[in-house]
A and B are shown apart, each in its own frame.
Chain A
Amino acid sequence: GESVGLHLPTLSVQEGDNSIINCAYSNSASDYFIWYKQESGKGPQFIIDIRSNMDKRQGQRVTVLLNKTVKHLSLQIAATQPGDSAVYFCAESGNSNSGYALNFGKGTSLLVTP
């Protein structure tokens, strides 16, 4: 089937620096993308989403960039804090309005060092 994958399995950043987590997808019909944060022992937590008619969306300290030409998605976290340490998953869906089940990537572990 179609795949969603992440470029790096682990990322270590210093507190206060900006973090960038990348994701590649292969389904050209994907029109809805989400980033989730998962802390140890917890379920994934919704961070930010973006639809395919946009190429950038900003939230609080986070920005998602979508490049449909190369099927690439990234999550930028500004001024990374220790509480940002977690595993981050990108997920995609072929239908943004019907809530179709999501296809998840493998996850990137973000470690924030003091």
Chain B
Amino acid sequence: EADIYQTPRYLVIGTGKKITLECSQTMGHDKMYWYQQDPGMELHLIHYSYGVNSTEKGDLSSESTVSRIRTEHFPLTLESARPSHTSQYLCASSLAGGQFFGPGTRLTVL
């Protein structure tokens, strides 16, 4: 079982609210990732980081932002949530090769 955690697990929020999805890993991995996944569909990369103070945008355009101030922490922020942001958000980390995933945050924006 990988030591990567995400909170909250479920979030229902109204349009226009600012939210931050938390992701932490205790494995000392340099690389961390955020993916978006709709039910039954493939994962799409929205952000990644090679290490502290490194953040890059992924293939899928996203209105979210990320920060990497500490190795173990990679939060994702939505400044103004919209119904189109409703999805599952998965955080992952890796040292080299395979990525290990957290349990995900299922976000619903009303």
Contact = CB atoms under 8 A, between A and B. Distances in A.
Interface of A: 1, 32, 34, 36, 41-46, 49, 87, 89, 96-99, 101-102, 104-107, 109
Interface residues of B, number: 29
Contacts, number: 61
Contacts of A99: 30-31, 94-97, 99
A85 B95 CA distance: 29
A46 B100 contact: yes
A73 to B, nearest CB: 15
Interface string B2-17: 1000100000000000
Interface of B: 2, 6, 30-31, 33, 35, 40-45, 48, 58-59, 90, 92, 94-104, 106
A43 B42 contact: no
Contact of B98 (A43, A49, A104): A49
Contacts of B98: 34, 46, 49
Contacts of B106: 41
A45 B92 CA distance: 11
A43 B103 contact: yes
A106 B42 CA distance: 5
B104 A98 contact: no
Contacts of B33: 101
B45 to A, nearest CB: 5
Contact of A102 (B2, B41, B99, B102): B99
A33 B14 CA distance: 39
B57 to A, nearest CB: 11
B103 A42 contact: yes
Contact of B90 (A43, A98, A101): A43
Given A1-B59, A99-B31, A99-B94, A44 B40 contact: no
B59 to A, nearest CB: 7
Contact of B43 (A1, A45, A104): A104
Nearest to B106: A41
Contact of A89 (B42, B58, B94): B42
Contacts of A107: 40-42
